C-alpha cells in the first residue's frame, strides 16, 4: 500500500535520532548504540510504532528495534517513539535482516499482521515461509522466540505448518486472542481496527533451541 507523505515526514526521517539509516554499520555492536547490555527484541514491520513504543515503556530493561521498509511510516514510528530511550527504528527490508545483526544479537522477534500474500504463487514471500524461518534461526544462533499475530486464517494455518516442519516448538496458540484468557496483549493499530470489526485474531509463540 502506498502511503502519502505528510509535510513533516521528510524532516523527521532525515533528523530523528531514533531512525537508523545504515544498520549494517551497527552489526554486532547494537548494545553500544543503546549504551547497555540489555536483551534486544526486534519487530518486523513496526508500522507507526504503537506496539513497539508501548512495549518499550512497559519494559525499560529491554532494548527494542523496529524494522520498517517504507520511509514515511518509519518517520511516523520514529516520532511516536521519541520519548522512549530504548527504541530504534531501522528503515530497511527484512530480506536483509542478516546484514543488520550478528548471529545471537536478537533474543525475541515480533511479527505482527504481516502481508499474508494470499495467492498460492506468492507463498515464498510470507514472513513465516521456511526460508525466513532459517534466517531467524541464524539470527538467534542458539535459541530465541517468535511472537506472531495475524487476522488471516490462511496465513495462520500456513505458519503453523511451516513452524512445525522447521523444528520450532509452539505454545500459547490462540484462534481468537481477544476471547482467550491470554494476559498482557498489546494491540497494534491494525489489530485494534480489525478486532473492532469482529475479526478473530490468531496468535502463537514459536521457540527455537539448537
Cβ contacts of residue 184 below 8 Å, gap of 6+? none
Judge whether residue 97 has pLDDT over 90. yes
pLDDT, tens digit (0-9, with 9 covering 90-100), for 43-83: 999 999 999 999 999 999 999 999 999 989 999 999 999 99
pLDDT, tens digit (0-9, with 9 covering 90-100), for 130-184: 999 999 999 999 999 999 999 999 999 999 999 999 999 999 999 999 999 999 9
- The 3-state DSSP composition of the chain as helix, strand, coil percent (nearest 5) reads 40, 20, 40
Cα angle, residue 14 at apex, residues 26 and 81 outer, rounded to 5°: 70
CB 99 within 8 A of CB 27: yes
In this prediction, residue 4 carries a pLDDT of 58
In this prediction, residue 8 carries a pLDDT of 75
In this prediction, residue 5 carries a pLDDT of 60
CA–CA gap between residue 104 and residue 31 (Å, rounded) = 12
In this prediction, residue 10 carries a pLDDT of 78
Confidence of residue 208 (pLDDT cuts 50, 70, 90): very high
Cross-strand bridge partners of residue 68: 91
Over residues 180-206, mean pLDDT: 94
pLDDT, tens digit (0-9, with 9 covering 90-100), for 50-61: 999 999 999 999
Looking at 99, 115, 142, 151, which residue is catalytic?
115
In this prediction, residue 55 carries a pLDDT of 97
Cross-strand bridge partners of residue 87: 64
Domains and CATH numbers, the chain: 9-209 (3.40.50.150)
106-112 and 87-91 strand pairing: unpaired
Active site residue 176: no
pTM: 0.94
Judge whether residue 86 has pLDDT over 80. yes
Amino acid at each position: 500500500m502506498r502511503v502519502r507523505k505528510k509535510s513533516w515526514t521528510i524532516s523527521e526521517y532525515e533528523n530523528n535520532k531514533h531512525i537508523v539509516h545504515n544498520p549494517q554499520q551497527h552489526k554486532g555492536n547494537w548494545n553500544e548504540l543503546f549504551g547497555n547490555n540489555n536483551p534486544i527484541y526486534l519487530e518486523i514491520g513496526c508500522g507507526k510504532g504503537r506496539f513497539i513504543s508501548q512495549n518499550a515503556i512497559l519494559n525499560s530493561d529491554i532494548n527494542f528495534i523496529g524494522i520498517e521498509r517504507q520511509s514515511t511510516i518509519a518517520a511516523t514510528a520514529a516520532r511516536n517513539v521519541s520519548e522512549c530511550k530504548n527504541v530504534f527504528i531501522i528503515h530497511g527490508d527484512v530480506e536483509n535482516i542478516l546484514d543488520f545483526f550478528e548471529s545471537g544479537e536478537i533474543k525475541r522477534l515480533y511479527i505482527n499482521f504481516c502481508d499474508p500474500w494470499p495467492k498460492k504463487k506468492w507463498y515464498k514471500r510470507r514472513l513465516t515461509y521456511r526460508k525466513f524461518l532459517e534466517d531467524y534461526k541464524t539470527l538467534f544462533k542458539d535459541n530465541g522466540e517468535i511472537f506472531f499475530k495475524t487476522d488471516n486464517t490462511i496465513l495462520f494455518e500456513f505458519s503453523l505448518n511451516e513452524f512445525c516442519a522447521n523444528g520450532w516448538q509452539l505454545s500459547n496458540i490462540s484462534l481468537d486472542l481477544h476471547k482467550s484468557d491470554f494476559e498482557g496483549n498489546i494491540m497494534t493499530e491494525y489489530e485494534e481496527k480489525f478486532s473492532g470489526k469482529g475479526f478473530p485474531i490468531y496468535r502463537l509463540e514459536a521457540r527455537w533451541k539448537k
